[in-house]
Structure 1
Amino acid sequence: MSHPSEHYDTISIGSGEAGKYICWTRSSAGKKTATIEEKWYGGSCPNIACLPSKNIIYSADVLHTSQKYASTGLLKASPAGIDMGLVRERKRDMVKGLMDMHEGVYEKSGAEMVHGHGKLVGPKTVEVDLKDGGKRIMTADNIVICTGSRARIDDVPGLKEAKPLTHVEFLELDELPTHLIILGGGYSGLEFAQAIRRFGAAVTVVERNSKILKAEDEDVSTALVDILKEEGVTFSTSVSVTKVVGTSGQSVTLIGKQNGQAFEVTGSHLLVAGGRVPNTENCGLGVAGVELTSSGHVKVDEYLRTSVPGIFAVGDCAGSPHFTHVAFDDFRIVRDYLNDNSSPRSTVNRQLPYTLYTDPELAHVGLSESAAQKAGIQYRLAKLPMAAFLRTRTMDATTGFAKALVSAADDAILGFTALGPRAGELLPVVQLAMSVGLPYMSLSGLIITHPTMSEGLVSLFGAIPPKT
């Protein structure tokens, strides 16, 4: 039987976004909580994902901008080459600052951090293999599964043996690849492709589908691919890789078929960016009776409850869209449920905005044109070149466009997409209008400061065709 001091109100297995916020919040409210973390203090976002990757991308942006204006004479050209060690050190300094911040929040909230591997040994009991040795048995009224996900490495002959980079190793590179092959033309693959190309490496993106960013509208995907091609990124689509030879970091070759023809590409490094796998093994989920889906995610309802009362699952491992901001909303859903909120949040019909941090950025919320067409939803469309967002002219950044979908039946905003500088910053005002059901005229009628990027929203929504 567990010692009384080892009983908690809430335990989170994993310290990712949702789990840590649940523990911080309940501890600050006087509840006894603990977070069990095996490796990444604070989860993947501040350590090996969102923030570190954007740090690297920003370094690439700084280099690209300096080189761009050096050619105009506005800035003096700097010596050729990039010191990847300094790029990595800048990223590490940021991560250290984030870890210091996390330690401060844990201390202030009173939530306990336990270093080790936690697994369920019963519906209310967690066994921890402590990092410094020994075991610990902990019980709780509420247990949160927050174990995240990892990069998927397919069972292609020779792929695992090639020791490819995932985003974890990529962010720790201290040398510039001469030729980086990226297996996967999704969102993170494109961010890394542009950044490492701007540092000076040759880059080839290999994608199994016929289209890069397969979920995006054709005009969006084409425009972004054209921008990256102009910077020197090479794309090979419709490729089925059947064999990998060599070792990443030395020489590695991908062999396969492309539209029925032989395909082969050789590079110095290989980065796998082809999807994610939930970390649901070795957590004792089966022992506790927690059900999984066919994809290996924890099965949850709209309140993120698992099949076992008192056990919740949040973030990537629960199949939530792989964004930190969605995991933060997962926290709010569990928080409201545990607080017996009379109208708790849920995952039903929640907004799922996202931003791709290429240059220019790609930002989206709501329905895309292709999704609306597939669902048979009638809409009115406005589309403007990014040059109509006048701030872009001051930034020499007029490439791209924005478009908005409005219901054909009424004036509700259905969706918004922007490919342009700082496009992600345009989302909140559109999201707010959508979330409270305001008509599109609420945006076209605003007085917005000139010249800001948001000013372009007045022109965009002012261009919506009238109802027929």
Structure 2
Amino acid sequence: MPASQSCDILVLGSGESGKYLAWTMAKSGLRVVVIERALIGGSCPNVACLPSKNIIYSGHVAALARRGAEFGLPDGPARVDMGAVRERKRRMVQDLIEVHRRNYAASGAALVMGEGRLVAPRSIEVALREGGTQVCSGERVFLNLGTHAAIPAVPGLAESQPLTHVEALELGVVPEHLIVLGGGYVGLEMAQPWRRFGSRVTVIEQGPQIAGHEDPDVAQAITERFEAEGIEILAGVKPERVDGRSGDRVDFHVQGPAGPQRISGSHLLVAAGRTPNTRGIGLEEAGIALDARGYVRVNERLETTARGVWAMGDCAGSPQFTHVAFDDFRIVHANLTGGKRTTQGRVVPYCMFTDPELGRVGLDETQARKAGVAYRVAKIPMAAVLRTRTLSEPHGFLKALVAVDSDQLLGFTAVGVGAGELVAVVQTAMLAGLPYTALRDSVLTHPTMAEGLTVLFAAAPTPPVADSRKRA
């Protein structure tokens, strides 16, 4: 008979939401148990956000090295040692894991390593990593299950054993020709560094443009930079089948406007969306309902359909960003301790760490038109921000949407160097309810990227853009 233990707080999954809830509640004196299948701290410090940005920056350094003559430095070939690139990433990950171990020890939360499955309301049976089983029961249970890379149902795709971002971050060699299926954030972030390391890279996107959730001018700016670096982009094509095996030879057959086409490469990376880790772990048997997409059904306080059970992070259908998962923790913690926070009305920023970066918060033009929101636009090229001249990084633009009947900021998009940092400034103004004129009239340090906001908003927003209903 498996060993058992009971606790006040039982968390399945040690990702961003789960670990912070565990550490915080344990420090308050509650008995807390966290069950983790494999990755201490979740995907972000192990196989996603931080490792990918580590690799991306190595690619950035390689690109700068090839531009040495532009900066008055000796020009010559930049040889990339992928083993060293990978080792730098591994050291960072190991350091982060040790930080997490220390946090568990300091908080008093127990970390149980193994595969968990719900076997009764608020009870989880764990197949322990070192062998044997254990049943953990909690007064309150929190699901922090995460997601994994989806493999589309393209004939031969699964059989080709493609890379996902997890395996790509562990490559110790530079692929001769990397084919990337998916022109979204993950696919684009992965495509560029491998090109800079020396791979030939082809991005296959079924939609009409890469960065399909963005305005066309954003997609165009990224496309131009990628193509200037030698990255081939095939958009508006339908995957037909895959032959071969990734790591050896793979033939990707697509159907496009020009007819059938075959792309032959050495490696295939799939970056075509995410699937929640909710199947086969007893959720339905415990009274925890899923939505039509397989995510845990929650209300605005992240409570599930089962009494005493919450879900947080990606598995709850939250926007799939670590900073949103952290806010999910804050919402749950607030409601456990007498507060009344909900997921409603959150202003969620994000950044894609390509070069140039993409940062956005609030509405873009596509969303505003779809919602029937009339707006004014302020837009300047990044070259108008003098800091970019000192960096020789003039690519991209800044764009803001302003309400028609007031000076309210509706949204902001930055494509260019430092875009992610600029977004935080505008987001702060939006949260404070400041008009765009507050940024226009601010005294900002020269020469910084933030100074570009005064330039952007000094350009009087153009006349109103009619909403979609008025255009009909």
Amino acid at match of 1:193: A
Matched, 1:157 2:139: no
> CA 1:225–1:241 in 2, change beyond 3 Å: closer, same or farther?
same
CA deviations over 1:390-422 (Å, ceiling 9, x no partner):
111110011110011110011110000001101
Give the Cα–Cα distance (whole angstroms) in 1 for the partners of residues 408 and 463 of structure 2: 12
Q: Displacement of 1:466 after TM fit?
A: 8.0
- Structure 1 partner of 2:355: 359
* Residues 66 and 78, structure 2, Cα contact 8 Å, conserved in 1: no
- Structure 2 partner of 1:273: 271
- Structure 2 partner of 1:63: 62
Percent of residue pairs bearing the same amino acid type: 50
Give the Cα–Cα distance (whole angstroms) in 1 for the partners of residues 182 and 347 of structure 2: 26
Q: Displacement of 1:301 after TM fit?
A: 0.7
Q: Displacement of 1:72 after TM fit?
A: 3.5
Amino acid at match of 1:190: L
Give the Cα–Cα distance (whole angstroms) in 2 for the partners of residues 48 and 73 of structure 1: 34
CA deviations over 1:60-101 (Å, ceiling 9, x no partner):
0011111112x3472234554311111100000000110111
Provide the secondary structure at the position in 1 that maps to 2:212: coil
Give the Cα–Cα distance (whole angstroms) in 2 for the partners of residues 346 and 95 of structure 1: 32
Give the Cα–Cα distance (whole angstroms) in 2 for the partners of residues 25 and 92 of structure 1: 28
> CA 1:127–1:268 in 2, change beyond 3 Å: closer, same or farther?
same
Give the Cα–Cα distance (whole angstroms) in 2 for the partners of residues 90 and 464 of structure 1: 47
* Residues 205 and 235, structure 1, Cα contact 8 Å, conserved in 2: yes
Which residue among 185, 193, 196 is the counterpart of 1:195?
Answer: 193
Which residue among 396, 406, 430 is the counterpart of 1:400?
Answer: 396
Amino acid at match of 2:55: I
- Structure 2 partner of 1:6: 5
- Structure 1 partner of 2:117: 119
Give the Cα–Cα distance (whole angstroms) in 1 for the partners of residues 395 and 163 of structure 2: 32
CA deviations over 1:172-191 (Å, ceiling 9, x no partner):
00010010000010011111
Give the Cα–Cα distance (whole angstroms) in 2 for the partners of residues 78 and 92 of structure 1: 28
Amino acid at match of 2:35: I
Give the Cα–Cα distance (whole angstroms) in 2 for the partners of residues 381 and 73 of structure 1: 35
Give the Cα–Cα distance (whole angstroms) in 1 for the partners of residues 111 and 60 of structure 2: 36
Q: Displacement of 1:6 after TM fit?
A: 2.1
Amino acid at match of 1:302: E
* Residues 13 and 42, structure 2, Cα contact 8 Å, conserved in 1: yes
- Structure 1 partner of 2:234: 236
Amino acid at match of 1:434: M
Equivalences for residues 71-90 of structure 1 within 5 A: 71-72=69-70, 74-77=72-75, 79-90=77-88
- Structure 1 partner of 2:210: 212
Return structure 1 stretches of 4+ with deviation > 6 angstroms. Answer: none
- Structure 2 partner of 1:19: 18
CA deviations over 1:299-324 (Å, ceiling 9, x no partner):
11111110011111111111111110
Give the Cα–Cα distance (whole angstroms) in 1 for the partners of residues 410 and 71 of structure 2: 45
Give the Cα–Cα distance (whole angstroms) in 1 for the partners of residues 17 and 254 of structure 2: 41
Give the Cα–Cα distance (whole angstroms) in 2 for the partners of residues 391 and 254 of structure 1: 42
CA deviations over 1:166-206 (Å, ceiling 9, x no partner):
00100000010010000010011111111100111100000
Equivalences for residues 38-437 of structure 1 within 5 A: 38-69=37-68, 71-72=69-70, 74-77=72-75, 79-259=77-257, 261-341=259-339, 344-437=340-433
> CA 1:79–1:263 in 2, change beyond 3 Å: closer, same or farther?
closer
* Residues 239 and 263, structure 1, Cα contact 8 Å, conserved in 2: no
Give the Cα–Cα distance (whole angstroms) in 1 for the partners of residues 273 and 237 of structure 2: 16
CA deviations over 1:266-310 (Å, ceiling 9, x no partner):
000000000000000122101101000111111111111100111
Q: Displacement of 1:148 after TM fit?
A: 0.5
Give the Cα–Cα distance (whole angstroms) in 1 for the partners of residues 77 and 459 of structure 2: 47
How many residue pairs align between the two structures?
Answer: 464
Give the Cα–Cα distance (whole angstroms) in 2 for the partners of residues 157 and 429 of structure 1: 46
Unaligned runs of 5+ in 1: none
Provide the secondary structure at the position in 2 that maps to 1:91: helix
State the TM-score, normalized to the length of structure 1: 0.96
- Structure 2 partner of 1:453: 449
* Residues 41 and 97, structure 2, Cα contact 8 Å, conserved in 1: yes
Q: Displacement of 1:363 after TM fit?
A: 0.3
Provide the secondary structure at the position in 1 that maps to 2:347: coil
* Residues 2 and 138, structure 1, Cα contact 8 Å, conserved in 2: no
Give the Cα–Cα distance (whole angstroms) in 1 for the partners of residues 99 and 414 of structure 2: 33
Q: Displacement of 1:260 after TM fit?
A: 6.4
Give the Cα–Cα distance (whole angstroms) in 1 for the partners of residues 22 and 2 of structure 2: 21
Provide the secondary structure at the position in 1 that maps to 2:451: helix
Amino acid at match of 2:402: V
Root-mean-square deviation (CA), in Å? 1.6
Provide the secondary structure at the position in 2 that maps to 1:204: strand
Give the Cα–Cα distance (whole angstroms) in 2 for the partners of residues 378 and 78 of structure 1: 52
> CA 1:286–1:442 in 2, change beyond 3 Å: closer, same or farther?
same
Amino acid at match of 2:198: G
Unaligned runs of 5+ in 2: 465-472
Give the Cα–Cα distance (whole angstroms) in 2 for the partners of residues 421 and 260 of structure 1: 35
* Residues 62 and 78, structure 2, Cα contact 8 Å, conserved in 1: no
> CA 1:140–1:158 in 2, change beyond 3 Å: closer, same or farther?
same
Q: Displacement of 1:146 after TM fit?
A: 0.8
Amino acid at match of 1:422: G
Provide the secondary structure at the position in 2 that maps to 1:254: strand
Amino acid at match of 1:371: Q
Give the Cα–Cα distance (whole angstroms) in 2 for the partners of residues 352 and 40 of structure 1: 26
